[in-house]
Amino acid sequence: MARIDLDVNGQIHTIDADPDIPLLYALRNELALNNPHFGCGLAQCGACTVQVDGQPVRSCVTPVSAVGKSKVVTLAGLGTPEKPHPVQKAFVEEQVPQCGYCLNGWIMTAAAFLERTKKPNDTQIREALSGIKCRCGTHMGILRAVKRAAAMMG
């Protein structure tokens, strides 16, 4: 066990944990955050995605010790119900959510992508989101939402 400081959603949290536990477990079990989700545990589905210093990271395979002093942002820290991030707003406007389990990965990845890619084309969007899985089949709605968010941010 070690004392670990984590900067999550703009707040410093101190936890006592094994430095090798996945960041996902620290976020969910130690900090009681509902997002990200546990999906596959192998970094293949994207449900566990968070941003670490603005980059999408699969928290299920990232040791909490690897985060260091980096800034971690979860879906809860991206926007609020009163002031949603443009990607969150676009997903609602395009009525993307179905079961919602995978949305964490799509939104966190899309938000990071749109911060560094202004006015992306369909191919760029598809490539950026290619590692995320959705079993409900909302892929076309997701594509429309990311394009809408890009227009809002652009």
CATH code: domain of residue 71: 3.10.20.30
pTM above threshold 0.85: yes
For the stretch 7-46, pLDDT in tens is 999 999 999 999 999 999 999 999 999 999 999 999 999 9
Domain endpoint, select from 62, 78, 94: 78
- Tell me what pLDDT residue 41 has: 96
Rounded to 5 degrees, φ, ψ at 149 are -65, -40
Residues 7 and 74 in one domain: yes
Domains held by the chain: number? 2
Q: Which of 97, 25, 8 is nearest to 62 (CA)?
A: 25
Domain with 95, as residue range(s), is 86-153
For the stretch 105-116, pLDDT in tens is 999 999 999 999
What integer is the mean pLDDT of 130-139? 90
Residues 40 and 70 in one domain: yes
Domain endpoint, select from 27, 55, 78: 78
Residues 148 and 131 in one domain: yes
For the stretch 54-68, pLDDT in tens is 999 999 999 999 999
Does residue 137 surpass a pLDDT of 90? no
Residues 12 and 60 in one domain: yes
Domain endpoint, select from 12, 46, 78: 78
| CA 100/CA 125 separation, integer angstroms | 20
CATH code of residue 122: 1.10.150.120
Are the CB atoms for 91 and 107 separated by under 8 Å? yes
Residues 73 and 91 in one domain: no
Rounded to 5 degrees, φ, ψ at 18 are -70, 125
Going by pLDDT thresholds of 50, 70 and 90, the confidence category of residue 95 is: very high
- Tell me what pLDDT residue 106 has: 97
Residues 117 and 70 in one domain: no
- Tell me what pLDDT residue 136 has: 87
Residues 67 and 93 in one domain: no
Are the CB atoms for 101 and 47 separated by under 8 Å? yes
Residues 68 and 130 in one domain: no
- Tell me what pLDDT residue 17 has: 96
Mean pLDDT of the chain: 96
- Tell me what pLDDT residue 154 has: 82
Q: What percent of the chain shows pLDDT beyond 70?
A: 100
